[in-house]
Structure 1
């Protein structure tokens, strides 16, 4: 069994969660001087290396939601916050994990993970943004590296050894825990105090970022308060509240801190409500009847934005059940009112494909792409429509551009593999499959598939040279990845 100090390190370093037991003072100048000495032992480049490695492991072990529409939404929202954050030193990537537990965590390289359950428990975009702003602060203030540095000072381990052990813990949990146990020692209390200091700082910067980005700064204490009230007497609270309790003092102090900023009385955010409806219908793990019941209860809020989101969610239920005759009039009405909305365009494209009208989908997306020629949601939908219309060569061309611009999106590589198969280009099919394996740190399989592609290519051709060069890159990446765990 993992000892308490080890569990504390894993919780604070791997999750860096929003719900740690911290007391936040209303005085924005009373924070302890933690310093930024982490830079002396772990550089930004090294953090990005570890972040990339963690992300590849997560893709192979967690149910990551590869939904283009939701990914566009959370990344647009996240980058709006990042643009107003302090001390941004890395690019940021936001992604969703399919899990009804309330959770969010941040790790090296600007990666912020949100559980889909957050959409079930937040009620406004400001509340969701408050969670994201807090996690952004953990990254900008380099809390993970600083936590590891504090642990390294109490033990013989170097910060690199701790980072490698945490990577190993994700890749092979039993070995990782053993590695951390062998290199970690120290006081439980000192670890808790350090965590509290990090949380105090993250709350302060998070609320500041929230306010500067135009969201309601009171959303953070409001969300904390709702969680506390909902689970105060629960015998089965979320796992996060078990490991990181939420005391009343934190709610009080975050409310006091929010009072330094103006209260923002914002209308319902349309894209947030649409995203919430999409999560409920497709990623909440409930049946169609329960989803429709939820949407019907939401309709009681007499607001046009809520009504549109409920209509959209209802259309998705019909669409997923191939009840196209019921989905069609709803989506037609929604698109007429908001013709450039990607939530609606995505659903309408799927509707036309389901109805056997792929050409109509292509025409719809062509008009939208004139307004947003490089939009990822529209492009991936266009590729799907071209596939449905058996225009495989055009699909290949579209997907080659898409995967070049979005190499970390499994959707592009997966569809490109299928399209290449349809045009009889087996070597490109293998290359696309190889990239899918590489995204999940399955380096051996990736190299194997690229080797097959090289063997099929014409001897001395540019294609063979490209495959061989990529094999060399993957071998180097594999060695670097394995070295990080040592």
Structure 2
């Protein structure tokens, strides 16, 4: 990534990581329109620097809990969106425009939906109270030397809080820091007050907020390298816990209810998006301790397939499905394991059982198309990938597999065009340019030729402005026999 893009990303990261260091004054905030425009650039930077988990079960579940909380609030002027970040860290944050993020490391230590709802409700409250927009408006007035010091600190100190970069960042903000922290504590207390009210209106227990804050606080003793970002960006944690302890001592919360949707999403995030060896050991131990625990078998099956042992995975996924025969997404996971094992006919049959209501229905169709490819049914596969992309043009992998299918059908214009689309959408301009140029050699349709010219022109502009990076080829290589 070129220096210019790094500086843009770092500037926005500054707003995320050090928002607690900017004084809150109630005089003015960004307008909703300004905040939404800024949110677009913010998301570009986040997506460029973090791996967002693209898992329909986890995405759907996060959105379900988030929307349940929002439905308990007065009508909101913005649309909230919820994301899981693949990183082993205790962190959650809200960005401009109602974009809420929780890290996989924090999600993995949650024990119930009450704890997840508590985290999301607090971040939603920061947005609805306009804390973020106010801080961003005030950040315009920060001295450039100070801002440059913070950005430089972030660029140098990506390794953790205890690095030289971390010291540089804190040092650059030393003047007035105590006043800034007083204001940020005020923000936290207000977000807690609003968040608690919304939690209860949505039917959640305040015990979830109490328990998750104590979990996060406990990691404080691990040392500076592992000191959770959440504590650095959400100060006054001890005061918040003490308040909750007193409140709940007088009004004990009801016992937490078991929630199947939480258990499934939590199992997926642990088995598929945390350390693979740790996840494998965890679920192996759970299945031995409790052979009747369907979710333990589900997690073990997912972890085994992730580790390249699909045949063993199938045994445990089948146990999970026997106990939960109506879980369509478990059926999809068994189909994926069959595909990974090379049992393409069985995989296709399994995946075609998927009901349209399944959260992972699109993934099932994608793997069904890949199974068709493996079975030599290239026309059927191409039709499947084309239909998927018509419904969801943002499914980047679909372009790669459609390109492969077109190549197998000797339709080289379509093959190169779709591979060009794939590489363009993954910011690999070198490979994108190669495939679009090759597509131009084969293409006869004037409209498609004009589209290719526009793509090449767009890439040239991006290359001049940002510079280019060479990246690795697609999911399984992109050889086209011509």
Which interval holds the TM-score relative to the shorter structure?
Answer: 0.7 to 0.9
1:13 equivalent to 2:3? Answer: no
Q: How does 1:270-285 map to 2 (within 5 A)?
A: 270-285=260-275
CA gap of 1:374–1:348, structure 2 versus 1, over 3 A, is closer
1:37 equivalent to 2:22? Answer: no
> Shift of the alpha carbon at 1:147?
0.3
Q: 1:313 aligns with which of 289, 299, 307?
A: 299
Q: How does 1:139-218 map to 2 (within 5 A)?
A: 139-153=127-141, 155=143, 173=155, 187-218=176-207
In structure 1, the residue corresponding to 2:368 is in which secondary structure? Answer: helix
Whether the 8 Å contact between 2:93 and 2:100 is mirrored in structure 1 is: yes
Whether the 8 Å contact between 2:92 and 2:102 is mirrored in structure 1 is: yes
> Shift of the alpha carbon at 1:223?
0.9
CA distance in 2, matches of 1:408, 1:169: 32
CA distance in 2, matches of 1:428, 1:396: 10
Q: How does 1:236-275 map to 2 (within 5 A)?
A: 236=224, 237-240=226-229, 243-244=232-233, 245=235, 247-254=237-244, 263-275=253-265
- Please name the residue that 2:349 is paired with: 363
> Shift of the alpha carbon at 1:358?
2.3
Whether the 8 Å contact between 1:84 and 1:209 is mirrored in structure 2 is: yes
Q: 1:88 aligns with which of 76, 86, 96?
A: 76
CA gap of 1:150–1:338, structure 2 versus 1, over 3 A, is same
CA distance in 1, matches of 2:127, 2:436: 38
> Shift of the alpha carbon at 1:102?
0.6
In structure 1, the residue corresponding to 2:353 is in which secondary structure? Answer: helix
CA distance in 2, matches of 1:217, 1:275: 21
CA distance in 2, matches of 1:51, 1:281: 31
In structure 2, the residue corresponding to 1:214 is in which secondary structure? Answer: coil
CA gap of 1:238–1:156, structure 2 versus 1, over 3 A, is closer
> Shift of the alpha carbon at 1:321?
4.7
CA distance in 2, matches of 1:447, 1:46: 33
Q: What's the CA shift string for 1:258-305, capped at 9, x where partnerless?
A: 799994534322232233333333322242xx434423555699797x
Q: How does 1:338-349 map to 2 (within 5 A)?
A: 338-349=324-335
Whether the 8 Å contact between 2:433 and 2:459 is mirrored in structure 1 is: no
- Please name the residue that 1:336 is paired with: 322
TM-score (norm 2): 0.73
Number of matched residues? Answer: 442
In structure 1, the residue corresponding to 2:355 is in which secondary structure? Answer: helix
Q: Give unpaired runs (5+ residues) of structure 2.
A: 1-9, 157-164, 468-482
CA gap of 1:102–1:423, structure 2 versus 1, over 3 A, is farther
Q: 2:382 aligns with which of 396, 406, 410?
A: 396
Whether the 8 Å contact between 1:457 and 1:464 is mirrored in structure 2 is: no
CA distance in 2, matches of 1:255, 1:173: 39
Q: Which has the higher contact order (CA 8 A, sep 6+)?
A: 1
